[in-house]
Amino acid sequence: MKRYKIFYILVAFLLLAGCATTTTQMGAPKSFAQMSYLERATYFQEMYNKQYDDTESMGKMTTLSPSQLKIYNIKKDILVKAKPLIRTYRAIVVNGGIPEPGKEQEINNLINQLLSAGL
């Protein structure tokens, strides 16, 4: 009887340890280098959409200070540049192609400019 008790405790412990390890690994976000091209395209689109929404809500404000207006115009210009690049990147990836080297960096640079424009 004592052997079975120890066995069941050991099995329960191993199951708990295994579940904890699996959850941690599955829940951890991927680094950019680990993402597939499609995941990168989705990331670019999500970042673009967030910045577009932020810029659009800023544009709907009735009173903008001169510095806010400057930020709004900068972000609007960057969004205009980023949109075709992101759409083209996504179209290439969805159709099974591999984007040109340097396009990811170009898109990342524009996203970084968008993120830093409001600082």
> Rounded to whole angstroms, how far apart are CA atoms 33 and 112?
17
Rg (CA), the chain: 23
> Rounded to whole angstroms, how far apart are CA atoms 78 and 116?
11
Write down the pLDDT at residue 111.
94
Q: What is the mean pLDDT of the chain?
A: 84
Residues in CB range of 88: below 8 A, 6 or more apart: 103
Write down the pLDDT at residue 18.
54
- In this prediction, residues 3-29 reach a mean pLDDT of 56
Packing angle of the helix pair 37-59, 103-117 (nearest 10 deg): 30
- More reliable by pLDDT, 72 or 17: 72
Question: Domain extents for the chain?
Answer: 1-30, 31-117
Write down the pLDDT at residue 92.
96
- More reliable by pLDDT, 90 or 119: 90
